[in-house]
Amino acid sequence: MSKESARLRLKTWICATVVVLSNVFGNFFMKRGMPSELPNPLAYITVLFQPWVSLGVLLLILWMLSRMALLSWADLSYVLPVTSIGYVLVALAGKVLLNEQITGKRWAGIVLIVAGVALVSGGSAPQSAPSKAAAAGANSGAGGLAAGTVEAAANSSTRGLAAGTVEAAANSSAGGLAAGTVAGGDV
């Protein structure tokens, strides 16, 4: 395993751990702080200011941000099964910390989740293939330029003109510049 591959694997596991734990504890604290009944819609707003609920919401915000970061470099088909171990931990937290009853069917489902996680996490490196533009910029060498233009025509439902241009430039890891233009117009 190369040094870069090992670094990516470590980064992925750290971020996946943050995703799982922030999800588990965010949901736990929210459940702990929620009253058994909320009489009206305004009560849902006011309960956000309860300390346990606020902590849960903050942890769930951390969960979403760390999940977005993880999905930015790792394959979806890897991230979702690996982070689903959180379902197991939520069940255990509910059982141990909230005295919830867990049926045999639920435990069987938990065992299946653990088996699936073991199968998925033992596979290849969890990295998405780089985009074509980034690969072109990286292959062009330091300071190289890779440019691509795609022109597309779109027919809008009102037969009007649908046109737009998006230009993007990003530095690749090799220092090359990848640029692309997309333009669309009415057919």
What is the number of residues in the chain? 187
Asked if residues 176 and 141 have their Cβ atoms less than 8 Å apart, the reply is yes
The C-alpha R_g of the chain, in whole angstroms, comes to 23
User: Quick one: 31 and 117 in the same domain?
Assistant: yes
User: Quick one: 43 and 87 in the same domain?
Assistant: yes
Kindly report the pTM of this predicted structure.
0.61
Tally of structural domains, the chain: 2
Where do we find the tokens 């694997």? 9
Is 127 within the bounds of a domain? no
Q: What pLDDT was estimated at residue 62?
A: 97
Tens digit of pLDDT at every position of the chain (187 positions): 688 888 888 999 999 999 999 999 999 999 999 988 888 989 989 999 999 999 999 999 999 999 999 999 988 888 888 888 888 899 999 999 999 999 999 989 888 888 888 887 666 555 655 554 444 444 444 443 333 333 333 333 333 333 333 333 333 333 333 333 333 443 3
Q: In this structure, which amino acid lies at residue 156?
A: S
Domain that holds residue 139: 132-185
User: Quick one: 104 and 142 in the same domain?
Assistant: no
User: Quick one: 27 and 56 in the same domain?
Assistant: yes
Q: What pLDDT was estimated at residue 16?
A: 93
Q: What pLDDT was estimated at residue 147?
A: 38
Q: What pLDDT was estimated at residue 123?
A: 61
**DSSP codes joined into one string, 26-44:** HHHHHHHHS-S---SHHHH
User: Quick one: 32 and 108 in the same domain?
Assistant: yes
Q: What pLDDT was estimated at residue 5?
A: 85
- Of 117, 125, 118, the residue nearest 87 (C-alpha): 117
Q: What pLDDT was estimated at residue 82?
A: 84
Q: What pLDDT was estimated at residue 156?
A: 36
